[in-house]
Amino acid sequence: MATALSIRGLRKTYGDVVAVDHLDLEVKTGECFGLLGPNGAGKTTTIEICEGLTDPDAGEVEVLGRRWNSHAQELRERLGVSLQETQLQEKLTVEETVRLFRSFYQKGRPVEEVIDAVQLTEKRRARVGQLSGGQRQRLALACALVGEPDLFFLDEPTTGLDPQSRRQLWELIAGFKAAGRTVVITTHYMDEAERLCDRVAIVDHGRVIALGSPRELIESMGAEHVVEFALAGDQQIEDETLRRLDGVLAVQREDGLIRLQAAEIHRVVPALLAELQRRGAMLAELRTHTATLEDLFVALTGRHLRDA
Amino acid sequence: MRSGAALVQLTLVRYREFRREPEAIFWVFVFPLLLASGLGIAFRNRPTEIVNVGVAAGRPGTEEVRAALAANHELIVEVLDDSAAARELRIGRLALVAVPEGPGRVTYRFDDTRPDARTARFLVDDALQRGAGRKDPVESHEDFVREPGSRYIDFVLPGLLGLNLMGSGMWGIGFSVVDARRKRLLKRFLATPMSKWEYLASFVVSRLTLLIIEVTLLVGFGILAFHVPLRGSLFALVLTCLLAALAFGGLGLLIAARPTTIEGASGLMNLVMMPQWIFSGVFFASNKFPAVAQPFIKALPLTAVVDAFRGIMLEGVGLLGLIPELTVIVVWAIVSFAVALRIFRWK
């Protein structure tokens, strides 16, 4: 399969801060690729280098088989971009905004069609200032869509939105992929990556620390389930004891909560309950869930995506 | 699409942004008219003033003095006793009280620090001396000159026109650009194939067209409401306006080239505009400043613009006579645009 984006040895520093540290990536044509990581992991710097907005200190970037220093104008014609925190002009209407962006491109889709595609037809005469957060993000996607790009770069398209707006955006992005476009998306929401992406690169401190499909990544932990519990009162239980329990693969502690990684939940839970009963310890809470990319991130870094 | 389409759309955006900002319309179009009216009315030339004077009652010669003064139409005379006279003088209703002191003698009681009182003294004295039969050795005549062109409104209107072009040019471009940078809109545009010159040209095109309305309104208002003269050619006026708009637009762009906050841009804006408000001779002649400062003052763009407007409107100076001023304006336009484009920050 052809390569839409290829990054080798990418490095970018801002003063003493290393934002991107020898990062390598390949994105295939037609796939939806996610850069998942906490704030400050280097996702935005990476994607802005790919968009031609930031110059790297070292490394090679090929977008659609072209390089920025030789084919900048052609690349801008073929990319659809949504930046983090762009505020479109509030005094313009939806239609005027899309028409403006359409005028920048040689070829593209009709303005009405694009507005319809992002479900803003009813709002097309409304000023941008009157739109909700979700509507603004959909307008931002319309601006990315109107040049009929081969490759989309979407930087945190759903950050700060309510659940319903996020689902609407996911449908739209899934639609881009269904239409055969390549999508590169950054996010710090593991559910977004799991839902949308064919493959995910987990990024931390400017490096790729894990790469694969969401399923593969979760399976790579060897633990498809997570059991979380807390003990009542000030009762204690040692990691060593827990690790010896039948089926427990790893133990982590966080804010009084103990997390057990497990391949088979039906072995771990009875063993845990038996051990607690033997000690006369009481549970304050107990829950289990299927492992997520979030759990993988915690397992890899000991930190959460949200607050790392 | 393309080839000029973006310039058209970007220019339309400029108009829409402006039209949908009622405050901008007020400050650009309405405020200068209000200011011109206010100044025109406050400093209008008044008709010859009538002066109120008194004559002390119950003195020898009171009636003769009163009759002599009443013969002068610029004086209104009343006869009143000493205490009333003192009070009226104190409150300023009377400019002067003449106190007859026997045949051929009179004392003028007035406040010599008041201009109208001193005028009254000369008028009263002149009337009394003439009434007593004075013959002037020199025969004099009067020929009044009350032409438009020498009044304060004539002086200040070209100044306001220059001031308005400076304000709208610098704010109109500077504010929009910095706001777009602050909102990361410039960065978003940079990620499209939009050409940078089309973005910047949209400001120039929209400024030049809005300029026509601005200038027509203010100059038209001056001519119709105050009969301010336009003695030079309309072509010279239009050309000067265009060059002035380019110079101030360039300065606006230069100021907006780097700042990422409106506050930062406002500070720079004031730094650049304040000296021109004061030194460029908008409200009073700039030659009142010391001679050493004159080369600096002459080099300010607003000085050149205002001087050129006054030359065209009040003195009918032709384009050749405006070469020094127009040169200053063009140099500002070229230098500011060139530097602005070099240091412009899109992100």
Interchain CB contact of A96 with B (< 8 Å): yes
Q: Where in chain B is the domain with CATH 3.40.1710.10?
A: 51-131
Task: Please indicate whether, in this complex, the C-beta atoms of A91 and B20 are within 8 angstroms of each other.
Answer: yes
CB B151, CB B46: distance < 8 Å:
no
Question: A232-288, pLDDT tens digit by residue?
Answer: 888 888 888 898 888 888 888 888 889 998 888 899 999 999 999 998 888 999 999
Reading the block at residue B121, the tokens are 């003294």
Residues 6-65 (A) with a CB less than 8 A from some CB of B: 51-53
**Spatial CB neighbours of B259, under 8 Å, sequence gap ≥ 6:** B178, B181, B265, B268
Q: What is the pLDDT of residue B46?
A: 62
Rounded CA separation B231/B158 (Å):
13
Interchain CB contact of A69 with B (< 8 Å): no
Characterise B308 by phi-psi region: left (phi > 0), alpha (psi -120 to 50), beta (else).
Answer: alpha
Rounded CA separation A300/A297 (Å):
5
Q: Is the predicted ipTM greater than 0.85, yes or no?
A: yes
**Least CA distance to B177: which residue of chain A?**
A89
CB B158, CB B95: distance < 8 Å:
no
CB A7, CB A63: distance < 8 Å:
no
Contacts of B188 in chain A (CB under 8 A): 81, 83, 86, 88, 143
* Cα distances (angstroms) measured from residue B347 to each of A81, A147, A177, B178: 15, 22, 30, 11
Look up the CATH superfamily of B51-131: abc type-2 transporter like domain (3.40.1710.10)
Over its length of 347 residues, how does chain B's per-residue pLDDT go in tens digits?
A: 556 789 999 999 999 988 888 888 888 888 888 888 888 887 776 666 788 899 999 888 888 889 888 888 888 899 999 899 999 988 888 999 999 988 888 999 999 888 888 888 999 998 888 888 888 888 888 887 666 677 888 999 999 999 999 998 888 888 899 999 999 999 999 999 998 889 989 999 998 988 999 999 999 999 998 889 999 999 999 999 999 999 999 999 999 999 999 999 999 999 999 999 999 999 888 888 899 999 999 999 999 999 999 999 999 999 999 999 999 999 999 999 999 989 999 87
Give, for A115, the enclosing helix (H) or strand (E).
Answer: helix A111-117
Rounded CA separation B299/A90 (Å):
39
Q: How many angstroms from the chain centroid is the CA of residue B25?
A: 21
Reading the block at residue B249, the tokens are 């637009």
**Least CA distance to A103: which residue of chain B?**
B6
Interchain CB contact of B345 with A (< 8 Å): no
Torsion sign across C-alpha atoms B262, B264, B267, B271: negative
Q: Which DSSP category does A280 fall into? A: T
Interchain CB contact of B114 with A (< 8 Å): no
Reading the block at residue B340, the tokens are 């602005």
Buried b or exposed e, range A110-126, using 16+ CB within 10 angstroms: ebeebbebbebeebbee
Min Cα–Cα distance to chain B from A72, Å: 9
Beta bridge partner(s), residue B98: B55, B108
Question: A119-177, pLDDT tens digit by residue?
Answer: 999 999 999 999 999 999 999 999 999 999 999 999 999 988 889 989 999 999 999 88
Question: B149-159, pLDDT tens digit by residue?
Answer: 778 889 999 99
This prediction's pTM? 0.79
Q: What is the pLDDT of residue A308?
A: 47
**Partner-chain residue, chosen from A79, A86, A108, that has the shortest CB–CB distance to B1:** A108
Rounded CA separation A43/A200 (Å):
12
Of B101, B110, B109, residue with least CA distance to B62: B101
